[in-house]
Amino acid sequence: MLHPSRTIVIGAGVIGAAIALELQKRGRSVTLIDRDAPGRGASFGNMASIAVTEFMPASRPSVWKQIPGWLMDPEGPIAVRPSYMPRLVPWFWRFLKASQPSTLRELEAQGAALCHRALGDTQALLAELGASDEITQTGCLSLYANDADFRADRDHIEILERFGFAHEVLDAEALRALEPAITYSIQTAVLFPENRSLKDPYRYVLRIVERFEALGGKVLRDTVTGIERGAWVSGVRLEQAGVLECDELVLAAGAFTGRLAAEIGEPIPLETERGYHTQIMEPGVSLSHSIIWPARAFMVTPTAGGLRIGGTVEMAGLDAPPNWNRAKITVKRAKEALPDLQVVSATEWMGHRPAFPDTVPVMSASRTPGVFYATGHGHLGLTYAATTALLMGQLMSGETPALDLAPYSVTRF
């Protein structure tokens, strides 16, 4: 089959890099463009989790009913900068529409379909990169201080049961046998054995890019300022290098993809859910599983560079400076779970999760011939990257994708 030969992928995050590699393998001549070095966006500092048990729509009642209370709490898991509120109204309206019970059932199925593939596809990509040892074999533990905590997360577990994801309920003693560092006040935990983590998600992107270049792919560091098109896409305008021509273009610029979509006259409801991490080099405690405490809205992952603590959502747009207090709040919460945690030497980081209001990514042709989208992976971009690359490769090659891609189309907005 004939393919357009010159392909540009904008965005060398985990999504764009994985797609670039897939397309290069399929015989195209691919240029991967990023204004920064590869992997320095959201894909740099995420929580490293191949989080196949976390696909639930954020608009489900057990979440949105708590939002007003969270917003009133300065240390709550969601913060909205007051000056940004007016900009959020249309997005939030769509978020509420995505809370209809029948819509929720569809969104859950769409997330589950991706997550059923995600671990296997990630393992296959890692094997191809010669990096199978980059993924952990242990799972993730979800913590519940008491019955009320556990009941509050019941719908999450029920969705997992409905879609056949493995989990095991542990009492306090069994939990302590697995993770002695966790406080005695946690009464119940659930082990998700298929929810793995990578030792270093940034290194994953670098390995993908290395392989891409070894196969002849080109990486270009420049900022895309515009898209050239007539009846078909013809190129991108670059800040430094002028116009670079192409026959097809993939918009995979993470949370910044909305700006590129606006450039071709296709506004998409993409927001940034800003998130923070704190990486502690010598934490004084060790964990062999990643842990999540849903009621406290944080996660801790043991990574190659130390213990990474993160979570929470801040809605403040793409340009506002970070509020490092958000990172400090999660560390404070983590100390409730890990009483011996020490924070002597640590780094803080903020990144932009590209988020659609219905929690489902877009992997689709755009309305502009020759242009494709791969964005909006929200809290699960690392998890979905290998699967997204495979599906985009199939879609762009005219094959029948391994999953029906209709629900992930940009035309749903």
Q: What residue ranges bind ligand FAD (CB under 6 A)?
A: 10-16, 33-36, 40-43, 46-49, 51, 223-224, 252-254, 256, 275-277, 310, 351-354, 375, 377-383
How far apart are CB 51 and ligand FAD at their closest, in Å?
5
For residue 380, give every residue at least 6 positions away whose Cβ sits within 8 Å of its Cβ, in sequence order, or none. 51, 54, 55, 111, 114, 115, 118, 361
Residues found in the chain: 413
How far apart are CB 257 and ligand FAD at their closest, in Å?
7
How far apart are CB 187 and ligand FAD at their closest, in Å?
25
Q: Which is nearer to ligand FAD, 167 or 326 (CB)?
A: 326
Q: Which is nearer to ligand FAD, 167 or 196 (CB)?
A: 196
Q: Which is nearer to ligand FAD, 188 or 388 (CB)?
A: 388
The greatest distance separating any two alpha carbons of the chain, rounded to the nearest whole angstrom, comes to 66
Taking alpha carbons only, the member of 1, 397, 2, 30 closest to residue 211 is 30
Angle between the N-to-C axes of helices 101-128 and 154-162, in degrees from 0 to 180, rounded to the nearest 10? 70
Please tell me the distance from the alpha carbon of residue 56 to that of residue 68, in angstroms, as a whole number.
20
How far apart are CB 201 and ligand FAD at their closest, in Å?
7
Strands (E), 146-284: 168-171, 188-192, 196-197, 218-221, 224-229, 233-238, 242-245, 248-251, 271-280
Tokens 């393998």 sit at which residue? Answer: 25
How far apart are CB 129 and ligand FAD at their closest, in Å?
17
How far apart are CB 338 and ligand FAD at their closest, in Å?
18
H or E element that contains 175? helix 172-178
Please tell me the distance from the alpha carbon of residue 98 to that of residue 188, in angstroms, as a whole number.
31
Residue 68, classified by CB atoms within 10 Å of its CB into exposed (0-12), middle (13-18) or buried (19+), is exposed
Identity of the residue numbered 226: G
Q: Which is nearer to ligand FAD, 111 or 381 (CB)?
A: 381
Q: Which is nearer to ligand FAD, 18 or 175 (CB)?
A: 18
Q: Which is nearer to ligand FAD, 267 or 339 (CB)?
A: 267
How far apart are CB 327 and ligand FAD at their closest, in Å?
9
How far apart are CB 311 and ligand FAD at their closest, in Å?
7
Q: Which is nearer to ligand FAD, 42 or 181 (CB)?
A: 42
How far apart are CB 196 and ligand FAD at their closest, in Å?
10
For residue 401, give every residue at least 6 positions away whose Cβ sits within 8 Å of its Cβ, in sequence order, or none. 391, 394, 395
For residue 116, give every residue at least 6 positions away whose Cβ sits within 8 Å of its Cβ, in sequence order, or none. 52, 163
Residue 196, by phi and psi: left (phi above 0), alpha (psi -120 to 50) or beta? beta
Q: Which is nearer to ligand FAD, 10 or 23 (CB)?
A: 10
Q: Which is nearer to ligand FAD, 178 or 220 (CB)?
A: 220
